[in-house]
Amino acid sequence: MPSVRTGLLRVVGAATTAYGVTAVRRPDWLARPVGMAGEQGGTHPYTAMALRPLAWRDAASGLAMLLAPAGPAQVTAAAVRIASDAGDAVLFGRTATGRVRRAGAVASALGWAALTAAALAGGRPHPTTTAAHPA
């Protein structure tokens, strides 16, 4: 059975945490790519208020991936991250303005989900799992 790429999960967690914290402070980072920013590029206060919980969720789930001990806790944190990205793909796929923005938002969300899933599935076999000694 393949093991988890713990290092890659921690890198993805760190990147997600940094993005989430930045998006909390600057919600236009999240609003602009999906067409939710105003014509001058600013984000309406109500839009910012609606997007900040997504940014906090990203920061929290990324931090969980970064700090969780290797094993079931980190796998669970990664699964939450994948589910969040899949939810973002559905949400922005249905609501982002314009075909190009919609496709970009969906591709970005699914790309992060795929990277996290690859880290879960793509490790080397555990040394105790061999043909002579199956797990």
Per-residue pLDDT at 127 exceeds 60? no
Tell me how far apart the alpha carbons of residues 23 and 133 are, in angstroms, rounded to a whole number: 48
Helix (H) or strand (E) holding 20, with range, is helix 6-25
The domain spans of the chain are 6-120
pLDDT reported for residue 82:
98
Per-residue pLDDT at 130 exceeds 70? no
Mean pLDDT of 114-127: 78
Please give the mean pLDDT across all residues of the chain. Answer: 89
pLDDT reported for residue 2:
47
Residue found by looking up tokens 């919600």 in the block: 27
The string of pLDDT tens digits covering residues 64-74 is 999 999 999 99
Percent of the chain at pLDDT > 70 equals 88
The string of pLDDT tens digits covering residues 74-87 is 999 999 999 999 99
pLDDT reported for residue 97:
87
Per-residue pLDDT at 1 exceeds 80? no
Per-residue pLDDT at 42 exceeds 70? yes
Q: Which residues contact 103 (CB under 8 A, 6 or more apart)?
A: none
**DSSP one-letter string for 31-79:** HTTTT-S-TTS---HHHHHHHHHHHHHHHHHHHHHHHSPTTHHHHHHHH
Mean pLDDT of 118-128: 70
Residue found by looking up tokens 């919980």 in the block: 53
Mean pLDDT of 39-51: 89
